[in-house]
Amino acid sequence: MPTEELKQDAALYLMQTYTRQPLSIVRGRGTKVYDLEGREYLDFVGGIAVNILGHGHPDLVQAIQRQAAQLIHTSNLYYTEPQVKLAHMLVDHSFADKVFFCNSGAEANEAAIKLARRYSHEKYGAGRFEIVTMRNSFHGRTIATLTATGQDKVQKGYEPLLPGFSYVAFNNLEQLKRAVTDKTAAIMLEPVQGEGGIYVADREYLKQARDLCSQKDVLLIFDEVQTGMGRTGTLFAYEQLGVQPDIMTLAKGLGGGVPIGACLARDSVAKAFSPGSHASTFGGNPLACAAGLAVCRALLEGQVLDHARRMGEYFAKGLLDCKERHRVVREVRGLGLLQGIELDMDGQAVVRECLARGILINSTGEYVLRFVPSLIITQLEIDRLLDTLAQIFDIQAA
């Protein structure tokens, strides 16, 4: 089906919840994707931080094929080996003792919110249910997670929102201290705000937040939906920020493209969930967990994680050099292969120019470009993006 015909059918049959780029992607290989007309694009969007092993990674493909031929879905009324093995692997390599599987980042964050409220209710009674989140955060699109999200544009039109959430400025310890009361059950934040503009949490801020939570017996929730699974150079971002949470959420890269989410917690917190208190029909199904196992093994047993760490450092240096040479770049922010640049021009204009030159990038907000490529990205491919950005910025300055 030609792209124009596909666009027309999409307009007829799909709810219009996305502003889509004018191309139809039909296949991918490694760090490249190809459209209906056969044009090649270097992918710095990576499914929005999802395709961490690139497209068509043989280990991931084989794991999905094997599991699909054996068992795609049964029910959480029964045990399945891939689910237990993936939970074991995540626990072995994190602070957590227990895992709940679901299908997306929003569902993982929903589970974290419910777990925090239930834990607090069981320990302190009904009056301790509030959750403090950060302005410019993003936690999902369910009614609870969009309420947790500290952005008016995400919440607009869905009022009345769920009660029990308050918002403070990111990296502002004094505001955080004032927001925590005897009604607070948890503090929820992203180690790096992705949708909010690629803002990295300050190490000392996180340490003080951890201390505050420990003193007040308030749970600390890290939303690592975007930062987890090697994105920042370690398996989880908290590892290099020096602070452990009580609850952590994962999704995006966990399945390498197959939908899966996870809520991880310490045993003392996780026991607040009991049979019937929370569930997911598709959560942790054998196919998704087989994909998750393949991803984890590639990161932990192969060279992907080390490579991603090196490429993240190389990319950050290249973007800083770009800032030095081009006045249109206000600031470079990021951690590992989650990088962003704030511009003095419309970010969407740069997205369109890169698309015309065969590179896919993303703009979050009006002025910030976000780069979340596959963790297998190479120096040559990073150089190609940097050269392309330089050409665009030179034209802008002329």
For 193-216, the pLDDT digits (tens) are 999 999 999 999 999 999 999 999
Distance set, CA 204 to CA 174, 224, 242, 322 (Å):
13, 19, 9, 29
For residue 60, pLDDT over 70 is answered with yes
User: Please, which pLDDT band fits residue 253 given cuts at 50, 70 and 90?
Assistant: very high
- Residue count (the chain): 398
pLDDT tens for 222-246 read: 999 999 999 999 999 999 999 999 9
Non-local (6+) Cβ contacts of 34 within 8 A are 25, 26, 27, 28, 40, 41
Q: What torsion do the CA atoms of 338, 343, 348, 351 make, to the nearest 10 degrees? A: -60
pLDDT tens for 330-353 read: 999 999 999 999 999 999 999 999
Distance set, CA 123 to CA 181, 265, 271, 277 (Å):
16, 16, 12, 16
Please confirm whether the linkage preceding 160 is cis (ω < 30° from 0).
yes
50, burial (CB in 10 Å: exposed 0-12, middle 13-18, buried 19+): buried
CATH of domain 3-56+303-397: 3.90.1150.10
* Location of each CATH 3.40.640.10 domain in the chain: 58-301
Identify whether the C-beta of residue 98 lies closer than 8 Å to the C-beta of residue 270.
yes
Non-local (6+) Cβ contacts of 234 within 8 A are 240, 305, 309, 336
* Location of each CATH 3.90.1150.10 domain in the chain: 3-56+303-397
**pTM for this one?**
0.96
Residue 239 in tokens: 């590892």
Buried b (16+ CB within 10 A) or exposed e, 242-280: ebbbbbbbbbbbbbbbbbbbbbbbbeebbebbeeeebeb
| pLDDT attached to residue 42 | 98
Buried b (16+ CB within 10 A) or exposed e, 195-217: bbbbbbbeeebbebbbebbeeee
Furthest-apart CA atoms within the chain: distance in Å: 65
| pLDDT attached to residue 396 | 80
Share of the chain above pLDDT 90, in %: 95
For residue 323, pLDDT over 70 is answered with yes
Identify whether the C-beta of residue 218 lies closer than 8 Å to the C-beta of residue 210.
no
| Architecture of the domain spanning 58-301 | 3-Layer(aba) Sandwich (3.40)
